Amino acid sequence: MQTIRTVDELRAALGGHRRAGRTIGLVPTMGALHEGHLALVRAARAEADVVVLSLFVNPTQFDDAGDLAAYPRDEGRDAELAEGADVDLLFAPAVAEVYPTGFATTVSVGGVSGRLEGAHRPGHFDGVALVVTKLFGMVRPDVAWFGQKDAQQVAVVRRVVADLDLGVRIETVPTVREPDGLALSSRNVRLGAADRIRGLALRHGLDAVVARLAAGESDAVAAAEAGRAVMRGEGVEPEYLEVVDPDTFEPVGRTEGRPVLVVVAAPVGPVRLIDNELVEPPR
Ligand code: PAF
């Protein structure tokens, strides 16, 4: 595996592959790699000839300076894991390489960016859309892989790719979970023992909604309220727990047999956790 810091080096490393017609796959990450990222790499490895993993803690997507400062960083460990997963190129640019002096462009996605994560983390999706657009311009991948855990992020990325004709196929990989159901997240390492247990409230809240919808409850608002009550019973106040349309993230009132996404976010101790589950209600 080659570690690359600059766009010039990246272009040099990928030019020959591109000319030879090889498929270039990108797994964008902010490091602190875990099994969820490795599942993305495995999916990329199975399909792309050349796998690039980007490692960049993107400052423009953090709405909270404390969260950015506390974001776990260990490039040595990440590089070992990436190499073990058979990544070809580790692209780990400095902030000044991505946002050089004079940088003045923004990317803002309307519609799907406005609710839920977008409303609770102002500017977050603008930062994600900007850095993903930059990474796609720098790596010029054929395909990029994202985790289903960040479902709204995936919808935002799909919108940018379609609207700006970026020509990158977006693939998703199911959320990887701990054996007890907690969704893997780079932020989980900051959970103390008691908060680690409280973090399961998100999973239990989702389970309660999914069970109701799967049993034929078509009132999505009532199902979501039952999920919020489960979370509160476990001492966790949801920022939101809603049943939404999987493409637009608009709230769903009645399921009427359509596939819906149940999405949840809550602060747990020092971190904010998110999770989601796709449900196909019975017709
Ligand atoms: O999901 C993430 O880790 C980040 O939001 C991403 C897509 C790498 C952009 O910084």
How many CB atoms sit inside 10 A of residue 18's CB? 14
What's the rounded Cα separation, in Å, for the pair 142 and 154? 16
Query: Which pTM value belongs to this model?
Result: 0.96
Please write the tens of the pLDDT for every residue from 49-58: 999 999 999 9
Mean of the pLDDT values across residues 113-123?
A: 96
Report pLDDT for 283: 74
H-type alpha helices, the chain? 7-19, 35-47, 65-70, 75-84, 95-98, 117-120, 124-139, 151-163, 193-198, 200-214, 220-233
pLDDT confidence bin for 217, thresholds 50/70/90: very high
How much is the average pLDDT of 124-140? 98
pLDDT in tens, 25-80: 999 999 999 999 999 999 999 999 999 999 999 999 998 999 999 999 999 999 99
Q: How confident is the model at residue 81 (pLDDT cuts 50, 70, 90)?
A: very high
Contact 235, 201 (CB under 8 A): yes
Closest CA to ligand 1's atom 8: 29
The binding site for ATP consists of 30-37, 147-150, 176, 184-187
Active-site residue, 37 included: yes
Give residue 207's pLDDT.
98
**pLDDT, average across residues 106-119:** 96
CB 160 near ligand 1, within 6 Å? no
Say what the pLDDT of residue 93 is. 98
Distance in angstroms (rounded) separating the CA atoms of residues 256 and 175: 26
d(CA 238, CA 206): 11
- Burial, 180: exposed, middle or buried (Cβ in 10 Å; 0-12, 13-18, 19+)? exposed
Least confident window among 5-14, 36-45, 62-71, 242-251? 62-71
* Domains defined along the chain, listed by start: 2-173 (3.40.50.620), 186-277 (3.30.1300.10)
Does residue 61 have its Cβ closer than 6 Å to ligand 1?
yes
Ligand 1: does its nearest atom lie under 6 Å from the Cβ of 60? no
Nearest to 144 by CA among 229, 58, 55, 41: 41
Task: Please determine, for residue 100, whether its predicted confidence score (pLDDT) is greater than 90.
Answer: yes
Backbone angles phi, psi at 174, to 5 degrees: -55, 155
Under DSSP, is residue 140 helix (H, G, I), strand (E, B) or coil? coil
CB 128 within 8 A of CB 153: yes
- Most ligand 1 atoms within 8 A of CB, residue of 128, 134, 159, 187 to mutate: 128
Binding residues for (R)-pantoate, as ranges, are 61, 153
Q: Is pLDDT above 80 for 24?
A: yes
For the chain, the average pLDDT equals 97
Residues 6+ apart with CB under 8 A from 123: 60, 61, 63
